């Protein structure tokens, strides 16, 4: 890993921590002694850091270069369905915010036949090009109730994070998505109307939910991925 690569991977990791809410620019400024404007320009790719500054940030965040290596090792593999014969089962937070799943955050593995996902089509935003494509999560009891009878509590749900488009995957069949709703992941049908993302349950006894988009935000920013497979019993 050269300096330029490490620089970029550090920026992505800090952005991930900020998105998760475990870090802020002001906190990082206090930890490192650098100005908020200086750090903000780095996070927006408007300036580079010196090696000394990178070392100070790594130390402040209790990181080493080894923490960045999975990004390097798996970045090119993220587009390949062949890596996904074993799909990591992860927390909702990891599915929402982590481009690359590190071994330490895996909760288990979903074993699929070799090549099972090779024919799955993607429709991804440009920002997702470096994200590991397939992950699996467990459905919550609340999502299971809203999507009954499709989902059972603790069902394993396989997500394609390279499909965050509202275009129907199959004609006349709604896509089921993992959606970022505030800081949480929820499983719903979704469409877009009047500058709002509309979340629809399968169970008609549950209400439709509306998510207002922030300025500059697009609907696909909230779509974590399309549900490819549901395993209600393992």
pLDDT for the residue 231: 94
Two structure tokens written together for 86: 């074993």
CATH superfamily of 75-231: Umud Fragment, subunit A (2.10.109.10)
Tell me, yes or no, if the two domains 3-70 and 75-231 fold the same way: no
Indicate the CATH number of 3-70 among 3.40.50.2300, 3.40.366.10, 3.30.420.40, 1.10.260.40: 1.10.260.40
pTM for the model: 0.66
Per-domain boundaries in the chain: 3-70, 75-231
Q: What is the pLDDT of residue 207?
A: 94
The pLDDT profile of the chain, 234 residues, written as one tens digit per residue, is 566 777 788 888 888 788 777 788 899 999 999 999 989 888 887 888 888 888 899 888 887 776 666 544 444 444 454 444 789 999 999 999 999 888 788 899 898 887 788 889 999 877 788 899 999 999 999 999 999 999 999 999 999 999 999 999 998 899 999 999 988 999 999 999 988 999 999 999 999 999 998 888 888 899 999 999 999 975
Cis peptide, bond prior to residue 149, ω within 30 of zero: yes
**Are 97 and 127 in contact, with CB atoms under 8 Å apart?**
no
Residue 149, φ and ψ in degrees, nearest 5: -95, 15
Query: What does the pLDDT read at residue 104?
Result: 82
Handedness of CA 79, 117, 146, 206 (dihedral sign): positive
The pLDDT, as a whole number, for residue 83 is 46
Q: How many other C-beta atoms are found inside a 10 Å radius of the C-beta of residue 83?
A: 15
Q: Return the bridge partners of 14, or none.
A: none
pLDDT at 70: 52
Residues 29 and 39 sit within 8 Å (Cβ to Cβ): yes
């Amino acid at each position: 890993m050269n300096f330029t690569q490490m620089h970029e991977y550090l920026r992505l990791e800090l952005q991930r921590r900020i998105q998760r809410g475990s870090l802020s620019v002001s906190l990082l400024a206090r930890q490192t002694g650098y100005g908020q404007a200086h750090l903000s320009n780095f996070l927006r790719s408007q300036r580079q850091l010196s090696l000394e500054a990178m070392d100070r940030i790594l130390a402040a965040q209790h990181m080493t270069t080894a923490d960045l290596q999975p990004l390097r090792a798996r970045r090119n593999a993220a587009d390949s369905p062949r890596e996904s014969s074993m799909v990591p089962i992860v927390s909702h937070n990891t599915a929402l915010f982590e481009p690359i799943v590190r071994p330490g955050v895996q909760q288990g593995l979903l074993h699929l036949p070799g090549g099972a996902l090779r024919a799955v089509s993607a429709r991804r935003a440009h920002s997702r090009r470096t994200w590991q494509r397939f992950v699996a999560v467990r459905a919550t009891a609340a999502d299971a109730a809203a999507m009954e009878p499709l989902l059972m509590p603790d069902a394993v749900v396989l997500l394609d994070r390279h499909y965050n488009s509202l275009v129907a995957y199959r004609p006349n069949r709604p896509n089921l998505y993992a959606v970022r709703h505030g800081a949480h992941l929820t499983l719903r049908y979704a469409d877009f109307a009047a500058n709002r993302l509309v979340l629809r349950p399968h169970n008609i006894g549950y209400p439709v939910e509306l998510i207002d988009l922030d300025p500059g935000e697009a609907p696909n920013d909230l779509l974590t991925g399309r549900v490819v497979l549901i395993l209600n019993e393992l």
